Amino acid sequence: MKRTWRIDTVTDAAQARIATARLAAAYGLTPLERTRLTTALSARLRQCLAKGGSWRLTLHVTAAERAQLHVTVTSSHPAEHPPWRTAVACAAQPVADDGVAAGSPADLAESLMGADEDTALLLAKLTEQEQLVAFHREELHQTNQGVLALHAELDAAGQAQQKAFAAERRARQEAESARRRLTFLADASAALTSSLNHDEIVRRLPELLVPEYARSVDVWLFDGGDDRRPPGPRPAVAVLAARTGRPQYAAREPGLLPGVDDQPPSALDPEQPLLCLPLPTRRAPLGVLTLTPPGDRWEPDDAVMLIEFARRASIAIDNARRFERNRDIAETLQRALLTDLPATPGLHLAARYLPATHGLNIGGDWYDAFPQPDGSLIAVIGDVTGHGLHAAVMMSQLRTALRAYAVDGGSPGTLLTRLHTFLHHLQPDLYATAVIARFQPGRPTLTWAAAGHPPPLLRTPDGQVHTLDAKPGAMLGIPLQQRIDDHTVDLPPGSTLALYTDGLVERRAAGIDPGIARLATSLGGFRPDELERDLDGSADRILDPLLVDSERDDDVCLLLCHTTEGFV
């Protein structure tokens, strides 16, 4: 189907528009499609009339795979005005009477009313779409509000999580700092208490603090004996710390450190902050520790830790000084008690005493040799339990008591029995062991008695070593009555008696018996002339191999007695 209209006037254009609308309706176009088509055609025709000239409208329906209504507007001068074309899908055959002719006013009015109906349908559809758009706009707005609220909640949750992470990080850092300070205090305490030499402790203080907690350390001890700095003026804040016993901080800005008093900067160096920590004891401060900060200033927790460090350092220095005083007293007493051995014709004596290398280096081991009124010679070796000044004093009292009892001329067993009673009444909680041997000039016998002590060793001239272990008594001072018996053995000229304490032969891992066997082997290895010619040197040659594996945690005492022809 093909229709053509000539358009020269507005009336021609209106009739062509009406014909197009009717034809579109006849071929099944919907009111919305018809309105779109006629609106576009009206706009084009209006342009054509404005340009002038003669125009032609052609309507053509094709019936290919899909039917289309083609609309073409051409000019009588195609070179000047190119054609305008459009196409819409339609039915292949008319679905109603096309009624294309539209010439009378009634047709124009009917067409106008029809156009209004289409416009009304279009406006109704537009209103429906606007309502749908408004609904979706509101729905989108609500969705946006929800998304914004969700974003706000997520943002708040993120900020809360960041704060939680930051708090956790701070807590972890604080815990790590606290652990580091506690570890430092523990290690520093171990280092300070590992020595009983207060000079060494003072020397370790800067080594422990620099550079982590101080840039420099000055130790001021009030007795002046251990001051490491040249003589000169002291900062006023250090003097104030010494006088008040309170930590002081001197700087241009207050330190606000817990437990520390703020003071003006030191006149000696106003730009340098100083932290002065007294070294307290139960009686009075020992001195003052003056520190300069490793950076700009100290953290409050570092200041608390440094105050505790100063307290522990003071305790270590005070303990070392008291130990040194007690050691000096004990060593003086020990030297006074270890008297020279008597010179007796035909009887050579040699003694060695080695204090323990731990503790006060003084204990209850002792030896002695002295003549009795009848010309006999008493040789004794003993060991008071414990170490230190108390054991040394008790050993001195036993030594004095033995010499007093020996004036009456008692036998070794009698003397030990009396010492047992004396110690039990004098010091019930203290015990001792001892061996007493009596040499009588002109008699080839040795009388001895033992009380809880390692047995004596007797080397005869033939090189044989005998262990004198016949029925010893119990330890001196134990809470029971006992009578200690005497024992007698032949003593030919050239014999050597070895009295010793357990520190020489006892080892924790092996006990005492292997040590006694080693001592017997060492004693039996000498030639007779060696012992007679150089008994002192022989004592050293006995000690050296036996002490190689010793921990030296106990005193060592050895007394050698060698007889010759002139004595027996």
| Domains in the chain: ranges and CATH | 2-103 (no CATH), 198-327 (3.30.450.40), 338-563 (3.60.40.10)
Strand segments (E) across 445-555? 445-451, 457-459, 465-467, 487-490, 496-500
Q: Kindly report the average pLDDT of the chain as a whole number.
A: 87
Higher pLDDT, 227 or 177: 177
Q: What is the pLDDT of residues 213-245, one digit of tens each?
A: 999 999 999 876 555 555 678 899 999 999 999
Give the sheet arrangement for strand 457-459, strand by strand: 347-354, 556-563, 496-500, 457-459, 465-467
Bond preceding residue 294 cis, omega within 30 of 0: no
The model's confidence at residue 13, banded by pLDDT at 50, 70 and 90, is confident
- Among 19-28, 106-115, 458-467, 513-522, the minimum mean pLDDT is found in 106-115
Query: What average pLDDT does the segment 480-493 reach?
Result: 93
Quote the pLDDT of residue 69: 86
How many Å apart are CA 327 and CA 263, to the nearest integer? 42
**What percentage of the chain reaches a pLDDT higher than 70?**
90
Query: What average pLDDT does the segment 351-364 reach?
Result: 71
Which single residue is written with the structure tokens 């070593």? 465
314: exposed, middle or buried (Cβ count in 10 Å: 0-12, 13-18, 19+): buried
Query: What average pLDDT does the segment 101-108 reach?
Result: 62
Quote the pLDDT of residue 358: 57
The model's confidence at residue 202, banded by pLDDT at 50, 70 and 90, is very high
Quote the pLDDT of residue 550: 65
How many Å apart are CA 383 and CA 209, to the nearest integer? 45
Strand 68-75 versus strand 84-89 pairing type? antiparallel
Q: What is the pLDDT of residues 289-338, one digit of tens each?
A: 999 999 888 999 999 999 999 999 999 999 998 888 877 776 676 667 67
Higher pLDDT, 307 or 123: 307
